Amino acid sequence: MGAVQKRNVSKMETTYVKQQEHLEIASARKRKLLLRRLSIFFVFACFISYLLISSNISQTAALDAKVAQKKKLEAKLNDLKHQQSILKQDIVNLNDDDYIAKLARKEYFFSDKNEIIFNIPDGKKEK
């Protein structure tokens, strides 16, 4: 029971057996070539996937940078438009003689007829 018996079996040398052996060898070659092709295809697919993913990530990062830059420039544009409207109002005011006279009296201490200018110090006390 515990002993393994060896069987001596001889091969038959017929054309059918030879054909079957050739078919097995050909099948093994086809399987080996199929595995090689599949492994090459897998490596190629991984390489293409890596390129696509890295390209997508870099384009996403570039797009995020452009969006941030656009927001910054839009805020700057709004500030410049506000400043432009203030400057246009200043141009309109500077074409008015009454405004120029008022500005000169305020900034340069000019006076009208029969007007006395008193220079009052600020409310802050100097120590």
1-53 residue pLDDT tens: 556 777 787 777 889 989 999 999 999 999 999 999 999 999 999 999 999 99
d(CA 36, CA 38): 5
Q: Model pTM greater than 0.85?
A: no
pLDDT for the residue numbered 106: 79
d(CA 44, CA 35): 14
Alpha-carbon distances, residue 117 vs 9, 24, 111 (angstroms): 134, 119, 7
57-69 residue pLDDT tens: 999 999 999 999 9
